[in-house]
Protein backbone atom coordinates (compact mmCIF):
# COMPACT_ATOMS: atom_id res chain seq x y z
CA UNK A 1 0.00 0.00 0.00
CA UNK A 2 1.15 3.63 -0.34
CA UNK A 3 3.34 4.60 2.56
CA UNK A 4 4.90 1.19 3.05
CA UNK A 5 8.10 2.45 1.41
CA UNK A 6 10.71 4.82 2.74
CA UNK A 7 9.42 8.07 1.20
CA UNK A 8 8.17 10.21 4.12
CA UNK A 9 5.64 12.02 1.94
CA UNK A 10 4.08 8.69 0.93
CA UNK A 11 3.93 7.70 4.59
CA UNK A 12 2.29 11.03 5.42
CA UNK A 13 -0.32 10.61 2.69
CA UNK A 14 -1.23 7.12 3.87
CA UNK A 15 -1.38 8.26 7.50
CA UNK A 16 -3.60 11.23 6.65
CA UNK A 17 -6.06 8.98 4.85
CA UNK A 18 -6.12 6.62 7.82
CA UNK A 19 -6.48 9.34 10.46
CA UNK A 20 -8.80 11.64 8.55
CA UNK A 21 -6.29 14.50 8.46
CA UNK A 22 -5.89 16.60 5.31
CA UNK A 23 -2.35 16.29 3.91
CA UNK A 24 -2.75 17.35 0.26
CA UNK A 25 -1.04 20.73 0.78
CA UNK A 26 1.74 19.54 3.07
CA UNK A 27 4.92 21.61 3.17
CA UNK A 28 8.22 20.07 4.22
CA UNK A 29 9.67 21.80 7.29
CA UNK A 30 12.58 19.56 8.22
CA UNK A 31 14.12 16.33 7.04
CA UNK A 32 16.26 15.20 9.93
CA UNK A 33 16.07 12.18 12.20
CA UNK A 34 12.32 12.55 11.68
CA UNK A 35 10.50 14.36 8.87
CA UNK A 36 8.22 17.28 9.74
CA UNK A 37 5.47 18.70 7.54
CA UNK A 38 3.24 21.75 7.98
CA UNK A 39 -0.40 21.04 7.15
CA UNK A 40 -3.49 23.21 6.68
CA UNK A 41 -5.24 24.22 9.88
CA UNK A 42 -2.07 24.89 11.94
CA UNK A 43 -1.15 21.21 12.14
CA UNK A 44 2.36 19.73 12.21
CA UNK A 45 2.83 16.11 11.13
CA UNK A 46 5.86 14.24 12.40
CA UNK A 47 6.81 11.15 10.37
CA UNK A 48 8.95 8.82 12.45
CA UNK A 49 11.76 6.59 11.29
CA UNK A 50 11.15 2.96 10.31
CA UNK A 51 10.96 0.60 13.26
CA UNK A 52 10.35 3.42 15.76
CA UNK A 53 6.61 3.12 16.32
CA UNK A 54 7.11 2.66 20.07
CA UNK A 55 9.01 5.95 20.16
CA UNK A 56 6.07 7.77 18.56
CA UNK A 57 3.72 6.25 21.14
CA UNK A 58 6.01 7.42 23.94
CA UNK A 59 6.15 10.97 22.55
CA UNK A 60 2.36 11.22 22.66
CA UNK A 61 2.10 9.85 26.21
CA UNK A 62 4.95 12.05 27.42
CA UNK A 63 3.40 15.21 25.97
CA UNK A 64 0.16 14.62 27.80
CA UNK A 65 1.91 13.73 31.07
CA UNK A 66 4.15 16.82 30.93
CA UNK A 67 1.15 19.07 30.29
CA UNK A 68 -0.68 17.49 33.24
CA UNK A 69 2.36 18.28 35.41
CA UNK A 70 2.59 21.94 34.48
CA UNK A 71 5.40 21.79 31.92
CA UNK A 72 4.59 23.93 28.85
CA UNK A 73 4.94 21.43 26.02
CA UNK A 74 3.95 20.99 22.39
CA UNK A 75 0.38 19.64 22.26
CA UNK A 76 -0.99 16.71 20.32
CA UNK A 77 -3.85 17.34 17.89
CA UNK A 78 -7.05 16.58 19.81
CA UNK A 79 -9.64 14.06 18.63
CA UNK A 80 -7.13 12.10 16.55
CA UNK A 81 -5.94 8.67 17.69
CA UNK A 82 -2.17 8.76 17.95
CA UNK A 83 0.18 7.66 16.61
CA UNK A 84 -1.12 6.67 13.19
CA UNK A 85 0.58 3.44 12.11
CA UNK A 86 1.83 3.05 8.55
CA UNK A 87 3.79 -0.15 8.21
CA UNK A 88 6.47 0.01 10.89
CA UNK A 89 6.38 3.80 11.10
CA UNK A 90 4.42 6.11 13.36
CA UNK A 91 3.02 9.49 12.34
CA UNK A 92 2.05 11.91 15.08
CA UNK A 93 -0.06 15.06 14.74
CA UNK A 94 0.65 18.26 16.68
CA UNK A 95 -0.79 21.74 17.13
CA UNK A 96 1.45 24.22 15.32
CA UNK A 97 3.03 26.86 17.51
CA UNK A 98 2.61 30.57 16.80
CA UNK A 99 5.62 32.60 15.68
CA UNK A 100 8.48 31.83 18.06
CA UNK A 101 12.22 31.93 18.63
CA UNK A 102 14.74 29.57 20.17
CA UNK A 103 15.19 29.79 23.93
CA UNK A 104 18.02 31.76 25.45
CA UNK A 105 20.48 29.78 27.59
CA UNK A 106 18.74 31.12 30.72
CA UNK A 107 15.31 30.06 29.45
CA UNK A 108 16.60 26.59 28.59
CA UNK A 109 18.11 26.23 32.06
CA UNK A 110 14.84 27.20 33.74
CA UNK A 111 12.82 24.66 31.71
CA UNK A 112 15.30 21.90 32.48
CA UNK A 113 15.21 22.74 36.19
CA UNK A 114 11.43 22.24 36.19
CA UNK A 115 11.62 19.06 34.10
CA UNK A 116 14.27 17.42 36.27
CA UNK A 117 12.34 18.24 39.44
CA UNK A 118 9.30 16.20 38.35
CA UNK A 119 8.55 12.92 40.13
CA UNK A 120 9.47 9.84 38.10
CA UNK A 121 6.27 8.68 36.33
CA UNK A 122 6.27 4.91 36.76
CA UNK A 123 2.97 4.71 34.87
CA UNK A 124 4.71 5.85 31.68
CA UNK A 125 7.32 3.07 31.81
CA UNK A 126 9.95 5.41 30.39
CA UNK A 127 13.12 3.68 29.18
CA UNK A 128 16.57 4.33 30.51
CA UNK A 129 18.26 6.81 28.21
CA UNK A 130 21.09 5.15 26.26
CA UNK A 131 23.58 7.77 25.04
CA UNK A 132 25.03 5.19 22.64
CA UNK A 133 21.74 4.23 21.00
CA UNK A 134 22.23 3.67 17.26
CA UNK A 135 25.82 4.94 17.17
CA UNK A 136 27.52 1.75 15.99
CA UNK A 137 24.75 1.18 13.43
CA UNK A 138 25.39 4.62 11.94
CA UNK A 139 29.11 3.99 11.74
CA UNK A 140 28.59 0.59 10.14
CA UNK A 141 26.09 1.92 7.60
CA UNK A 142 28.48 4.64 6.34
CA UNK A 143 29.90 2.61 3.44
CA UNK A 144 31.87 5.60 2.13
CA UNK A 145 33.77 6.05 5.39
CA UNK A 146 37.54 5.31 5.17
CA UNK A 147 38.47 2.13 7.03
CA UNK A 148 40.88 4.02 9.29
CA UNK A 149 38.15 6.42 10.42
CA UNK A 150 35.61 3.63 10.84
CA UNK A 151 38.00 1.64 13.04
CA UNK A 152 38.80 4.70 15.14
CA UNK A 153 35.11 5.55 15.61
CA UNK A 154 34.28 1.98 16.68
CA UNK A 155 37.17 2.01 19.16
CA UNK A 156 36.13 5.43 20.47
CA UNK A 157 32.60 4.20 21.13
CA UNK A 158 33.93 1.23 23.08
CA UNK A 159 36.34 3.43 25.07
CA UNK A 160 33.51 5.75 25.99
CA UNK A 161 31.24 2.84 26.96
CA UNK A 162 33.83 1.80 29.55
CA UNK A 163 34.12 5.35 30.88
CA UNK A 164 30.34 5.79 30.93
CA UNK A 165 29.87 2.63 32.97
CA UNK A 166 32.19 4.09 35.61
CA UNK A 167 30.93 7.68 35.74
CA UNK A 168 31.16 9.38 39.14
CA UNK A 169 27.99 10.16 41.04
CA UNK A 170 26.22 13.38 40.21
CA UNK A 171 22.63 14.61 40.21
CA UNK A 172 19.84 12.15 41.12
CA UNK A 173 18.15 10.12 38.39
CA UNK A 174 15.29 12.03 36.77
CA UNK A 175 13.14 12.39 33.69
CA UNK A 176 15.43 13.82 31.01
CA UNK A 177 14.57 15.29 27.64
CA UNK A 178 17.47 13.53 25.92
CA UNK A 179 18.16 16.19 23.27
CA UNK A 180 18.05 19.42 25.24
CA UNK A 181 19.30 22.39 23.25
CA UNK A 182 17.99 25.89 22.68
CA UNK A 183 16.12 24.92 19.50
CA UNK A 184 14.05 22.36 21.37
CA UNK A 185 12.52 25.03 23.58
CA UNK A 186 10.41 27.47 21.59
CA UNK A 187 9.54 30.85 23.09
CA UNK A 188 6.42 32.73 21.95
CA UNK A 189 5.23 35.89 23.71
CA UNK A 190 7.69 35.18 26.51
CA UNK A 191 6.41 31.66 27.20
CA UNK A 192 8.74 28.65 26.67
CA UNK A 193 7.38 25.44 25.15
CA UNK A 194 9.28 22.13 25.20
CA UNK A 195 9.54 20.39 21.81
CA UNK A 196 10.77 17.11 20.29
CA UNK A 197 10.12 14.40 22.86
CA UNK A 198 11.59 11.51 20.87
CA UNK A 199 14.45 10.87 23.30
CA UNK A 200 12.64 11.44 26.60
CA UNK A 201 13.44 8.87 29.27
CA UNK A 202 15.07 8.31 32.64
CA UNK A 203 18.70 9.17 33.11
CA UNK A 204 21.35 11.46 34.46
CA UNK A 205 20.24 15.12 34.35
CA UNK A 206 23.79 15.90 33.25
CA UNK A 207 22.94 14.41 29.84
CA UNK A 208 20.50 17.29 29.30
CA UNK A 209 22.98 19.89 30.54
CA UNK A 210 25.95 18.85 28.47
CA UNK A 211 24.79 20.03 25.03
CA UNK A 212 24.77 23.70 25.91
CA UNK A 213 27.92 23.29 27.98
CA UNK A 214 29.92 21.99 25.01
CA UNK A 215 28.59 24.89 22.94
CA UNK A 216 30.56 27.02 25.37
CA UNK A 217 33.64 24.91 26.10
CA UNK A 218 34.31 23.29 22.71
CA UNK A 219 32.59 25.47 20.08
CA UNK A 220 32.54 28.97 21.57
CA UNK A 221 28.94 29.34 20.38
CA UNK A 222 27.81 31.07 23.56
CA UNK A 223 29.58 33.57 25.75
CA UNK A 224 30.75 33.04 29.30
CA UNK A 225 28.00 35.33 30.58
CA UNK A 226 25.32 33.37 28.69
CA UNK A 227 26.69 30.15 30.12
CA UNK A 228 26.61 31.61 33.64
CA UNK A 229 22.99 32.60 33.04
CA UNK A 230 22.23 28.99 32.05
CA UNK A 231 23.90 27.62 35.19
CA UNK A 232 22.19 30.15 37.46
CA UNK A 233 18.73 29.58 35.99
CA UNK A 234 19.16 25.84 36.43
CA UNK A 235 19.92 26.36 40.10
CA UNK A 236 23.68 26.82 40.22
CA UNK A 237 24.87 23.39 39.09
CA UNK A 238 27.74 23.68 36.56
CA UNK A 239 28.10 20.40 34.70
CA UNK A 240 31.54 21.40 33.38
CA UNK A 241 32.86 21.16 36.95
CA UNK A 242 31.62 17.56 37.32
CA UNK A 243 34.33 14.89 36.92
CA UNK A 244 32.25 13.01 34.34
CA UNK A 245 31.75 16.02 32.08
CA UNK A 246 34.33 15.24 29.43
CA UNK A 247 32.98 11.71 28.94
CA UNK A 248 29.40 12.88 28.34
CA UNK A 249 30.62 15.83 26.25
CA UNK A 250 32.54 13.53 23.91
CA UNK A 251 29.60 11.14 23.61
CA UNK A 252 27.32 14.04 22.69
CA UNK A 253 29.79 15.28 20.07
CA UNK A 254 30.15 11.77 18.70
CA UNK A 255 26.37 11.63 18.30
CA UNK A 256 26.43 14.93 16.40
CA UNK A 257 29.09 13.50 14.11
CA UNK A 258 27.01 10.34 13.69
CA UNK A 259 24.05 12.37 12.46
CA UNK A 260 26.07 13.62 9.49
CA UNK A 261 27.14 10.03 8.72
CA UNK A 262 23.46 9.29 8.02
CA UNK A 263 23.13 12.24 5.64
CA UNK A 264 26.43 11.66 3.86
CA UNK A 265 25.09 8.85 1.65
CA UNK A 266 22.99 11.36 -0.31
CA UNK A 267 24.85 14.63 0.26
CA UNK A 268 28.44 15.50 -0.60
CA UNK A 269 28.23 18.49 1.75
CA UNK A 270 27.22 16.18 4.60
CA UNK A 271 30.05 13.78 3.72
CA UNK A 272 32.58 16.62 3.90
CA UNK A 273 31.10 17.73 7.21
CA UNK A 274 31.21 14.19 8.61
CA UNK A 275 34.88 13.94 7.70
CA UNK A 276 35.56 17.32 9.33
CA UNK A 277 33.73 16.34 12.52
CA UNK A 278 35.62 13.06 12.68
CA UNK A 279 38.90 14.93 12.27
CA UNK A 280 37.93 17.23 15.15
CA UNK A 281 37.11 14.29 17.40
CA UNK A 282 40.42 12.64 16.49
CA UNK A 283 42.30 15.72 17.68
CA UNK A 284 43.35 16.85 14.20
CA UNK A 285 41.55 20.20 14.54
CA UNK A 286 42.06 22.50 17.51
CA UNK A 287 39.16 23.81 19.61
CA UNK A 288 37.04 25.87 19.39
CA UNK A 289 35.52 23.88 16.54
CA UNK A 290 33.20 25.17 13.84
CA UNK A 291 30.61 22.68 12.55
CA UNK A 292 28.00 23.38 9.89
CA UNK A 293 24.36 22.93 10.88
CA UNK A 294 22.38 20.04 9.34
Question: Which of 36, 65, 96 is at the close of a domain?
Answer: 96
CATH number of the domain that residue 53 is part of: 3.30.200.20
Same domain, 126 and 207: yes
44-81 residue pLDDT tens: 999 998 999 999 999 999 999 999 999 999 999 998 99
pTM over 0.95: no
Question: Does residue 1 form part of some domain?
Answer: no
Q: Is the pLDDT of residue 263 over 90?
A: no
Read off the pLDDT of each residue in 31-56 and give the average, rounded to a whole number: 92
153-178 residue pLDDT tens: 999 999 999 999 999 999 999 999 99
Residue 39: strand pairing partners: 43
Same domain, 43 and 145: no
100-137 residue pLDDT tens: 999 999 999 999 999 999 999 998 999 999 999 999 99
* Backbone dihedral angles phi then psi of residue 28, each to the nearest 5 degrees: -65, 130
Confidence of residue 189 (pLDDT cuts 50, 70, 90): confident
Confidence of residue 1 (pLDDT cuts 50, 70, 90): very low
Read off the pLDDT of each residue in 270-288 and give the average, rounded to a whole number: 96
196-205 residue pLDDT tens: 999 999 999 9
Question: 92 near 81, Cβ under 8 Å?
Answer: no
Read off the pLDDT of each residue in 237-242 and give the average, rounded to a whole number: 98
Question: Which of 66, 96, 126 is at the close of a domain?
Answer: 96
Which helix (H) or strand (E) segment holds residue 271: the answer is helix 268-281
112-121 residue pLDDT tens: 999 999 999 9
Question: Does residue 92 form part of some domain?
Answer: yes
Whole-number Å distance between alpha carbons of 245 and 96: 36
Confidence of residue 3 (pLDDT cuts 50, 70, 90): very low
| Residue 227 lies in domain | 105-281
Quote the pLDDT of residue 220: 87
Give every CB contact of residue 63 below 8 A, 6+ residues apart in sequence: 73, 74, 75, 76, 197
Same domain, 141 and 249: yes
Same domain, 193 and 115: yes
Pick from 3-7, 15-19, 38-42, 48-52: least confident? 3-7
Q: Is the pLDDT of residue 212 over 70?
A: yes
CA-derived radius of gyration, the chain: 19
Tally of domains in the chain = 2
Quote the pLDDT of residue 2: 39
Q: Go through 63-84 and write b for each residue having 16 or more CB atoms within 10 A of its CB, e for each that does not.
A: bebbeeeebbbbebbeeeebbb
Amino acid sequence: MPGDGTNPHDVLTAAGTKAGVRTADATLIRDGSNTLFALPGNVIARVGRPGRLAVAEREVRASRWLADNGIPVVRTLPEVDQPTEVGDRGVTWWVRLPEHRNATPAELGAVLRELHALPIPHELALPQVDPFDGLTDRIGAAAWLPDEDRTWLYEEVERLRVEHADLPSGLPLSVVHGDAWQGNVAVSNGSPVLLDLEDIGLGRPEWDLVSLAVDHTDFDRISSSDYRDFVNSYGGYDVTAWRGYRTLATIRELRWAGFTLDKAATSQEAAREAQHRTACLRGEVSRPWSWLAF
